[in-house]
Amino acid sequence: MTMQIFSVGGAIRDALLRQPVKDKDWVVVGATPADMTALGYQTVGKDFPVFLHPQSREEYALARTERKTAPGYKGFVVHASPDVTLEEDLARRDLTINAMALPEAHSGLLDPASTSNSPQTLEDVFSAHGIDPYHGWQDLKNKTLRHVTTAFREDPVRILRLARFAARFPEFKIAPETLQLMQDMVQAGEVEHLVPERVWQELAKGLMTQKPSRMFDVLKACGALQVLLPEVNALWGVPQRAEHHPEIDTGVHLMMVLDMSAQLNASLPVRVACLMHDLGKGSTPQSEWPRHIAHEQRSAKLLKQVCERLRVPVECKELADVVAREHGNIHRSHDLNAAALMRLLERCDAIRKPDRWPEILLACECDARGRLGFEDSAYAPKSRLLKALEAALSVTTADIAAEAQKQGLTGPAVGEKIHQARVEAIAHLWV
């Protein structure tokens, strides 16, 4: 059999959507591992034959099929041989929009620079030469996320991937039969076999999309959110005081906060903090609704459990903890005097980690603007609190420490002198 090479998956999808092509994946049909190494390709795959191109260093995978043998996303036997067809390889992919291919000879058009001077459009070339056995291009045109075959249900990671794609392409709808399949997978317990690292990996990618709320809407609709993040799932149906939260429902508020974090181009740690800042409201006794007294402390405790369970990176966990504990105090900081502002800065560890302070304030801004009718409102506390930290940091601690030692002061007494000098520096801002 003659060796054939095809560009597959996301590169085709993104090019047809006129979006930047970040990574190209290639499938090789009719070849053996020995054929690839003889041509200078470097073996990198452990579980299945994947090779790096000797010049471009892009990944080339031998066409393969997969057979389910055990629960979870690792319970597969992979078969790769020269007799596996391209159609068989595409059949194992998750969504029809990711199951399209183009022969290598025509794949130069995936590069936008190459299409600018070409008399043919990518659409023309794909119509003539594209391989699309599962009608992915039609689903792309119809803005539909649809599974390729019922083999979708064999890998629970695909639920998370589909939810992430829904957040990346928020105008796309999910085919009803695909949503039903996802619900069946959740009910069959497949999601419970997902390893924490993979759950976090997909959640992190979804949080960084243009509309992260869509990911959680999809996970909630299929039932996976209750399994993976019950602390988040518990927020829907929990009311808040209408004078502060016209949207009332805590789950709705959370989704608005997440989308605001995307609108403001927040970093991943900020978006994680937004996701977890109000977890404690889900455990407020109904008799206390719509008030949520001390929910900040409950939120901090719950987010610690979530972060440990999903092995969330320390940077994300620590920022989320500060925001959960202090967002209410930051919102109300206009009432604080200089001494109270200094205590707030110390509780947030802003003196030791000043670069993190704007991130904390950005998460709080997302919380404040993630409310019905407040989306375009300026966040008043931000400017004052940034100036407060700047003033506190302007204090020359070495001089104060030296003077304190001349007075015979040591240890905590020196620290108190520095603390008081910082309070005075903040107070001078508004004299």
- pLDDT higher than 60, residue 416: yes
Q: Region 259-285: what's the mean pLDDT?
A: 97
Residue ranges of the domains in the chain? 4-135, 394-430
Tens digits of residue pLDDT in 316-339: 999 999 999 999 999 999 999 999
- Rounded to whole angstroms, the Cα distance separating 236 from 220 reads 10
The pLDDT, as a whole number, for residue 308 is 97
* pLDDT tops 70 at residue 72: no
pLDDT for res 250: 97
Distance of CA 376 to the CA centre of its chain: 24
- Give me 391's structure tokens: 């003033």
Separation of alpha carbons 27 and 45, rounded Å = 13
Residue 16: pLDDT over 70: yes
The reported pLDDT for the residue numbered 101 is: 96
- Containing 263, the helix (H) or strand (E) segment is helix 250-263
- 2 three-class SS: coil
Residue 77 pLDDT: 79
pLDDT single digits (tens) 182-206: 999 999 999 999 999 999 999 999 9
User: By C-alpha distance, which of 163, 257, 161 is closest to 217?
Assistant: 163
CA dist., res. 6 & res. 101, Å (int): 6
CA distance 399 to 147: 67
What is the model's pLDDT at position 73?
A: 59
d(CA 324, CA 308) in angstroms, rounded, equals: 16
- The single-letter DSSP state of residue 118 is -
Give yes or no for residue 34 having a pLDDT over 60: yes
> What tokens were used for 48?
């299945």
CA 412 → CA 111, 112, 394, 401, 431, distances in Å? 63, 63, 21, 11, 29
Question: What is the pLDDT confidence band of residue 22, given thresholds at 50, 70 and 90?
Answer: confident
Q: Name residue 343's amino acid.
A: R
Are the C-beta atoms of 273 and 313 separated by less than 8 Å?
A: no
Terminal CA-to-CA distance of the chain, rounded, Å? 84
CB-CB contact of 224 with 194 (8 Å)? no
Percentage of residues in the chain with pLDDT exceeding 70?
Answer: 95
Confidence at 48, pLDDT banded by 50, 70, 90: confident
Q: Which amino acid is at 216?
A: F
Give the Å distances, CA to CA, from 133 to 93, 98, 151, 206, 342.
12, 11, 16, 28, 64
Residue 405 clears pLDDT 80, i.e. is over it: no
Task: Give the HSE-up count for residue 371: Cα atoms under 13 Å, Cβ half-sphere.
Answer: 17
- Residue 169's φ and ψ, nearest 5 degrees, are -120, 70
Measured between alpha carbons, how far is 238 from 370 in angstroms, rounded to an integer?
A: 16
From the list 27, 23, 71, the residue with the least C-alpha distance to 48 is 27
Three-state DSSP at 175 gives coil
Does the structure show a pLDDT above 70 at 371?
A: yes
Q: Is the pLDDT of residue 222 over 90?
A: yes
- Whether the pLDDT of residue 120 is over 90: the answer is no
Predicted pLDDT of residue 2: 85
pLDDT reported for residue 248:
95
Q: Which of 17-26, 139-148, 240-249 has the lowest mean pLDDT?
A: 17-26
Instruction: Tell me: pLDDT of 363 over 70.
Output: yes
What's the token pair of residue 179? 């949503």
Whole-angstrom Cα distance, residue 41 to residue 39? Answer: 6
What per-residue confidence (pLDDT) applies to 109? 73
Among candidate residues 185, 383, 195, 356, the one with its CA nearest the CA of residue 267: 356
| Of the listed ranges 31-35, 140-144, 269-273, the one predicted with least confidence | 31-35
Q: Please give the pLDDT value at position 113.
A: 55
The CATH label, of 1.10.287, 3.40.50, 3.30.460, 3.30.450, for the domain at 4-135 is: 3.30.460
CA nearest 133: which of 88, 103, 94?
Answer: 88
Does the pLDDT of residue 1 top 90, yes or no? no
Contact (Cβ atoms closer than 8 angstroms) between residue 269 and residue 315: yes
Whole-number Å distance between alpha carbons of 210 and 57: 30
pLDDT for 431: 52
Bridge partners (DSSP) of residue 8 are 25, 101
Cα 89 from Cα 87, distance rounded (Å): 5
Q: In this structure, are strands 144-145 and 64-68 parallel, antiparallel, or unpaired?
A: unpaired
| Mean of the per-residue pLDDT values of the chain | 92
Q: Identify the H or E element spanning 407.
A: none
User: Which of 20-34, 61-75, 104-118, 259-273 is the most confident on average?
Assistant: 259-273
pTM exceeds 0.85 for this model: yes
Cβ–Cβ < 8 Å for 25, 15:
no
**DSSP E strands: which ranges in 269-393?**
none
Helices (H), ranges, 267-374: 268-276, 295-310, 314-331, 338-347, 357-369
Entry field: residues in the chain: 431
Q: Is 248 helix (H, G, I), strand (E, B) or coil?
A: coil
25 strand-pairing partners:
8, 59
**For residue 15, which of 91, 115, 131, 117 has the smallest C-alpha distance?**
115
pLDDT band at 94 (very low <50, low <70, confident <90, very high): very high
Lowest mean pLDDT among 31-45, 72-86, 111-125: 111-125
